[in-house]
Structures are given as C-alpha cells and as structure tokens.
Structure 1
Amino acid sequence: MSTTTIALVTGGNRGIGRSIVEALAADGRDIILTYNSHEDEAKEVIDAVAARGRVAEAIQLDTTRPAAFPGFADAVRQALRARWDRESFDILVNNAGFALHTPLGATDEETLDQLFAVHVKGVFLLTQALATAPEGTAPLLADGGRIINSSTGLARFVTPPYAAYGAVKGAVEVLTRYWAVELGGRGISVNTIAPGPVNTDFDGGYLRDENLQQIFSGLTAQGRVAHANDIGPAVAALVREGTNWITGQRIEASGGFRL
C-alpha cells in the first residue's frame, strides 16, 4: 500500500487549478484532478506532474451535477485501489468554478442558479460525498486530512458587477468554519484560500487588459496583479506537515489588494 500523500483537486486542468496541482506535485504529492471539459488540458497536467516525478489521474466531473457525484466517488475509489492500493486520499481542494456578472436590475434567475450550483450546492454535496460515509463504511477523505475551499477577495472588497459571485463565495467561507467544527474530531482541518485579482482566463480573461492591470496594480501592496503560480504555492503551503492546527480560517492571497 502506498504511503504517498494524495490530493484531489477539482478543476485542476487550467489556471489556478493547474497551479495548485503542480505546486502540490512539487511538494511530493500524487494527484487526482478533475476537469469538466478540455480533456487535452488534463492530459497536459498529468504530463507536468510526471515531469516532477509524481503520479496523476484525471477524472471528468461536472460539479453542477450532484447526480454524478456517487459515480464520481466510485471512480475515485477505483483509481485509489488500482494506482495506489489505497482506500482513501488525504487532501481535497474544492477549486472548480466560474464568475458571472450580476448587476442589480439586470440579472436573471438562471444566472443566480448557475453560480449557486457550482460554488455552494456543488461544493457542499461533493464534499459530503467524499468526506463522509454511511455508518459502517469509511469515507474517501482520510482522518487527519485537509480540505481547502476556494473563495475570492471579492467576498471582502466590493467590485461591481460581482455581487452574486462574492455572495456565494461568502457562503463557502461560512461552510468552511462549520466544517472545521464538524470534521475536527477526525483531525481534518478545513480552510479557505481567497485569491485577489489573478491574470488567468477566468471570467473571459478580463485581467489580460493592460489598462486594468495597471489600475489593479496600483491598488495592490506589492504593485502588481497575481499570476496563477502565485496561488498554487499558497495552497501547497497550507497543507504541509505541521500546519494542521490552522483550521476554520480564511487566508487571502491577494498581494495586499485594497488594504
């Protein structure tokens, strides 16, 4: 049986998710990553992990479809047994998500439902499927494990038109505190990472605009906007040995945005 630490990262095929996967692999973790689409990107990430001497498996998952979660849990269990001779993994990173504009007076119900589905309902039910189990069976997330939930600086600093996105991420931060208590008896720590402005393809890659970069850089203590590789190492640091006593916390990785 492998004693390697195994992390499961949702949305690990691009952007911040890929940065998290690669940072964890650089720290000696093996990886199960999910992707909704772009299987080719997931295969590239597997190769990047292999180049670091670690092992990765990619499993397709749409986190807005809770009906798929039992089948996904079975696929994770099968991968653990086949690749690692294990019945559990150690780190869950709820990273998958997207942003939509929601200006007051011009936002429809479907938009709100989409944001809630992926960032609250999906996160809650997927974590439930992986971190708990019926009495007499063992959960997939091991005792002593870690959960990192993805939030956003927009839950702290107001930047229209992201009200609903900031609100659902605020809900994630509340869930983090509750789960830290509910799972604490098993030695599982639960924390939130909250990035500030990051130059990725998130929300259509809006931060690739040089004028916006200049504006946001002027609002950041470190004088620039982030890149995805600023966030992955922060997540990896939160799950290193000796940090389990940190739990129920919101860690903002924003370079000091709007301090």
Structure 2
Amino acid sequence: MSLGDEHEPSGGYGGTGHTRTRLPEGGGGDVYGGARRGPRSSSRSLITVVGVVVLLIAAIAFANRGGDDSPSGGETSAGKPEAGSTAASGERPVESTAGGIPTGYAHNQQGAESAAANYSVALGSAEMFSKTRRDAILQTIITPSRVSSFEATLDQAYTSAFNKNVGLNEDGSTPQGYTFVSRTSPIGTKVTEASGNNATVEVWCSGLLGLAGENSTNPVTNNWFTITMNLEWTGGDWKIVTHSQKDGPAPVPGDDRASSADEMAKAVEEYGGFTYAR
C-alpha cells in the first residue's frame, strides 16, 4: 500500500455506504480449506513483515523516534487508562471527505485521535498499490511540506518485486480470478503528547493482507501492530508529519476455523469500511 494499473479495493474507502462508528468502548485445493490456523511458515512470515511493515510504514525514514515517554493526561499515575479514556466522546463525527478519506477534524485531542485512526485505514488500504491513488491519499493526509518526501520514499518501496511478494502481478494489478485484500482496522487510539498545534497519537490496529482465491499461495493473513503518528494542525485540519510502527499488542490466536477462499473474497466485497471517530 505501486506503480501500475490503478484499481479500487472492494469495500474500501473508494466505495460508498460507509458506516460511522466510534472507537470501542470498551491441482491444489482451496488453501483456506477450512483448516485450523497453525504456525506460519517462514514465507508467510516474510509476507506479513514485508506487507505490513514496509507497506504501511515505508516512510519510516522520516519518523521522529524521540518523544516523551511520560503518561498522557488520559492515564492515572499508575499508568493505567482512566475509566472514561476509552469511552466515546459524544462529539459529532466528521462529515467532510477528500478522495473518500474523512477530513475536517476538531482542533483538539479527540480530533487528532480520529484523524490518526482514519489515516491508518487509508495507509493500509489496497488503493496504496496504485501510484495514482497512493499520491492522492498522501496529498490528503500528509502535511504539505512532507508530501514530496513521502511520495519519493513510497515509490521506491512499491516495486515489481514487492508486488510479486504479496501475490500481485509485477505491475501491481490483481491476478485474474483472485481478490486482493489489504485492510487496516483501528482497535483504539491514545494521545501520548499534545500541544496547541501538535499531537502524537498511537493507533492500535489489526490488519489483513493477501490474495483470496482458490489455489492462492498467499492467503489472507492477520497481523497486529501499533502505529505512532506525529500530527500537526495545518490548513484547518490535522495532517501527518511522521509515522512509525511496532508489532503488537497481539492477542493469543483463537482456534477459529479459517474461511474458504470464496467466503473471504465475498466478505471483502460485501463489507464496507468505517469512518472512525473518537
């Protein structure tokens, strides 16, 4: 999330009918085959690492890895969140969009959290594999002074070899008979540092990546990670200055029965994305 044919991901932000929600208050057979999840092979681990880390955080060279490690105002002295820190704010969610991405956030910490959550979704979308759509996304969510740097870095990341690693054709298009899945779902957000026009927000996410289709050698897999975004208030909205990523927190894998390729492809096509608001 490359150079090549532009395509719109099924059910992604490029579609319609978005649902608004608030962050929680709380020869071979079907490779999915209904089999239970087992340990990932080294190749699948590589795909996960490349597909999530490079895909979402290719601009890591610009990330500011420093920062204040002290607890935010939403935590107690013991470092645990207050009871209300994960509750929905009750504020009206954003109404405007730019290229399908929610925009027009409040100039406060809640607005920064909402922006970070929605920007995580955009950066993790299948649309990032299209040069045209990727540049449009960056124009919308990156602070103007950093757009060119982000574009150049991501252009170097989305190569033909990278596309092949995630199961796509070299030009970034999806092989015939398959559905490409690349989605990020924010689970929660936390402001770790804030001033009048700057905020650092952590977004805990779950991601999906892979090809849904019979005989796929890159079936859709799940990963957990936390994205840290440094945001600034510019032009009447929150924009990304830098971002970085780390693994986890990851729950213990359940004993769920893996869906078939058809079920996975149908789910991606039928279930649209969300607009996240704090």
TM-score bracket, normalised by the shorter chain, equals under 0.3
Q: What TM-score, normalized to structure 2?
A: 0.25
- More strand as a share of residues: 2
Structure with more contact order per residue of length (Cα contacts < 8 Å, sep ≥ 6): 2
Q: What TM-score, normalized to structure 1?
A: 0.27
Q: Which has the larger radius of gyration?
A: 2
